[in-house]
Amino acid sequence: MAEYLDLFDAERRPLGSTMQRGKPVPPGTFAVVVQVLTVSREGKILVTKRAPEKKHAGQWEITGGAKRAGEPERTAVCRELREETGITAKPDELIFRCVTRCDQVLFAYYLFFSDRSETEPIALQAGETADAKWLTVREFLNLIVTNEYTGTEPGLLCSIYAGLLDGLPLGAPSFRYRRRERRLSEQLDLVDYRRRPTGQRITRGRPSPPDTYRMIVSILTLRPDGRLLITRRAPQKSYAGRWEISGGCVQAGESLRQAAVRELWEETGILCGTAQLEPRGYHRGRNVHFCYFLLRRDVPLSALRMQRGETDAAEFVTPAEFRKRMRENRTITAESLLICRHFPELFSAT
């Protein structure tokens, strides 16, 4: 039976039309291919070898494939992972990274932290995968700069998974096959004043059209000792040096909880499930809706990882200490007042 793929515009918006797989993509339209980097319980990265009957046979790659017609993007990731490796994932367990473009294909990249151990067997897909192995980060970095690895250019791949893939080896040879991808600007879905989707998208950094709003998630991480996590904004950011809780813009196609999980992992290295986030309400500002979550997590300061260009320091402080920084003008005042309002059990006595 013929397989059909959905078609999109250059900003990954569905066009409402399809094409048969294997035929040329119509001019001015794009197909979507999903890619997922899977990490084992031991922190190793999964790669699979392309089957002999496939193009670029015998080369190694991360898991991925085309998104089918009518299939949600995250569902496509879960399907490809299950088909090619036997590993199961749920859509909310995937962390979205970015979208790149090469010719008439948009590549959507995801990250998946599996509870699978490297000692458990991988179920290979006949005609697709011939072998599989788990690699340390160093082994994976060494692999992607050789002609044994196919697909994404090494520097771009490390950029996509920054914080996990650091320390790319220098002096990479010329590659037999590398996609000429370029990373696309972040796209944001717009909602109305009641937080209902408008069907519109904008590129991050551009002003919202009248009567539309962006969504921003804010996550307060609270330890059992009553201390909350704050991070310091990096020097190149607006309000550089000010302290805040984790958060950021909801990207196109993300739910609020999915965005909160991604932002927390990007900015601090903390990994949580969407069900672990406790909703704490909304605030409507000028062309923006804020959504607040609470995460209860016992995490040592030494376990945190800062996001380059976003955060450069972190501390766990008491609510009273946070209030003190507010008075000293070391936080973003308007945001801090909203934090106090949405977490009254922490700040009402301070």
CB contact set of 52 (below 8 Å; sequence gap of 6+): 58, 130
Burial status of residue 228 (CB atoms within 10 A of its CB: 0-12, 13-18, 19 or more): buried
Nearest to 154 by CA among 313, 166, 163: 166
Look at residue 175 in the predicted model and tell me its pLDDT. Answer: 55
Is 204 in the same domain as 327? yes
CA distance 25 to 250: 30
Look at residue 176 in the predicted model and tell me its pLDDT. Answer: 57
Is 173 in the same domain as 240? no
Cα dihedral 168/170/176/177 (nearest 10): 30
Look at residue 223 in the predicted model and tell me its pLDDT. Answer: 98
Last-in-domain residue among 183, 199, 234: 183
Task: Evaluate whether 225 touches 301 at the Cβ level (below 8 Å).
Answer: no
The number of domains in the chain is 2
What CATH code is carried by the domain that includes residue 216? 3.90.79.10
Is 169 in the same domain as 192? no
Is 246 in the same domain as 277? yes
Look at residue 166 in the predicted model and tell me its pLDDT. Answer: 82
Last-in-domain residue among 183, 206, 230: 183
What is the domain range of residue 220?
187-347
Is 291 in the same domain as 341? yes
Reading the block at residue 50, the tokens are 């392309």
Look at residue 152 in the predicted model and tell me its pLDDT. Answer: 87
Is 162 in the same domain as 126? yes
Look at residue 1 in the predicted model and tell me its pLDDT. Answer: 78
Is 39 in the same domain as 171? yes
Task: Evaluate whether 62 touches 38 at the Cβ level (below 8 Å).
Answer: yes
**What are φ and ψ of residue 28, in 5° steps?**
80, 5
| Per-run averaged pLDDT (10 residues), the chain, 350 residues | 92 94 95 97 96 92 96 98 96 96 96 94 93 96 89 89 82 61 92 96 93 97 98 95 97 96 96 96 96 97 93 97 96 94 89
Look at residue 153 in the predicted model and tell me its pLDDT. Answer: 86
Nearest to 52 by CA among 131, 151, 123, 122: 131
Last-in-domain residue among 183, 214, 235: 183
